[in-house]
């Protein structure tokens, strides 16, 4: 082995070390985001005199924070979800801003309250399966009701898993998903990037 080979091996090892260190740093940053969000939400719950615990996790490159309860959920906690999750979306944005204020970096954390998003994901996946059958039977595109970025992303993922094309159309807050058999029916090829940036 030549000196040049030795240098190349050293450079590769250094690069791999930097990659591992970067991943560790990112994980620590996301965990810190979760901690900041938890502190913010705990203070909010205290002010509102609401009972709830905070669970923190990291998944798919983002912090996941959820307000949960040990027993029967306090009915007042559902107010933090609101009609069609509108209050939850606003609370998520406020929590992201609280994190950004402390870290100086834009946060993409996902907030859930007593399992609303998980339940909604199941509902939307069932809806897309139903509409997918309609699209395949008729060959005609199907337009879904207006949804927020989280809901549209769920629909796009479900459609892709079923072998359908999907796109987001319209202007917020009335953007909606269109399911179709052919990409040619799509006028907006950038829905994935748009929704991923807004969401998630």
Among the listed residues 100, 110, 12, the one whose alpha carbon sits nearest the alpha carbon of residue 61: 110
Give Cβ neighbours of residue 85 (< 8 Å, ≥ 6 apart). Answer: 116, 117, 120, 148, 150, 151
Q: DSSP letter string over 179-190?
A: EES-GGG-S-TT
Question: Final residue of a domain: which of 94, 114, 134?
Answer: 114
Examine the domain organization and report whether 103 and 127 are in the same domain.
Answer: no
Examine the domain organization and report whether 21 and 90 are in the same domain.
Answer: yes
Examine the domain organization and report whether 144 and 174 are in the same domain.
Answer: yes
Average pLDDT over residues 169-189: 78
Examine the domain organization and report whether 106 and 67 are in the same domain.
Answer: yes
Examine the domain organization and report whether 109 and 123 are in the same domain.
Answer: no
Question: Final residue of a domain: which of 85, 114, 143?
Answer: 114
Examine the domain organization and report whether 145 and 165 are in the same domain.
Answer: yes
Residues spanned by the domain of 76: 3-114
Average pLDDT over residues 92-103: 96
pLDDT at 114: 92
Strands 110-113 and 53-59: unpaired
Examine the domain organization and report whether 50 and 106 are in the same domain.
Answer: yes
Q: What is the CATH number of the domain that holds 192?
A: 3.30.1370.50
Question: Final residue of a domain: which of 67, 99, 114?
Answer: 114
Examine the domain organization and report whether 73 and 161 are in the same domain.
Answer: no
pLDDT at 194: 38
How many domains does the structure of the chain reveal?
A: 2
Give pLDDT tens digits for 115-171: 999 999 999 999 999 999 999 999 999 999 999 999 999 999 999 999 999 999 999
Examine the domain organization and report whether 104 and 161 are in the same domain.
Answer: no
Q: Is the pLDDT confidence value at 184 over 50?
A: yes
| 44 HSE (CA, 13 A, CB side) | 17
Examine the domain organization and report whether 192 and 94 are in the same domain.
Answer: no
Q: What is the CATH number of the domain that holds 80?
A: 3.30.300.20
């Amino acid at each position: 082995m030549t000196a040049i080979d030795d240098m190349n091996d050293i450079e590769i090892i250094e690069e791999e070390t930097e990659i591992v260190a970067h991943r560790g740093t990112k994980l620590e940053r996301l965990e810190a985001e979760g901690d900041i969000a938890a502190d913010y939400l705990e203070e909010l719950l205290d002010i509102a005199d609401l009972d709830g615990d905070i669970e923190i996790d990291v998944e798919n490159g983002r912090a996941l924070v959820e307000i949960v309860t040990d027993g029967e959920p306090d009915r007042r906690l559902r107010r933090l979800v609101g009609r069609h999750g509108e209050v939850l979306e606003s609370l998520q944005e406020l929590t992201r801003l609280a994190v950004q204020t402390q870290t100086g970096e834009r946060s993409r954390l996902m907030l859930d309250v007593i399992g609303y998003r998980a339940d909604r994901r199941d509902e939307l996946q069932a809806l897309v399966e139903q509409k997918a059958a309609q699209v395949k039977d008729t060959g005609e595109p199907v337009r879904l009701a207006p949804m927020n970025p989280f809901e549209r992303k769920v629909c796009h993922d479900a459609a892709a898993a079923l072998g359908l094309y999907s796109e987001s159309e319209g202007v917020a807050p009335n953007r909606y998903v269109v399911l179709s058999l052919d990409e040619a029916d799509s006028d907006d090829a950038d829905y994935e990037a748009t929704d991923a940036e807004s969401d998630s």
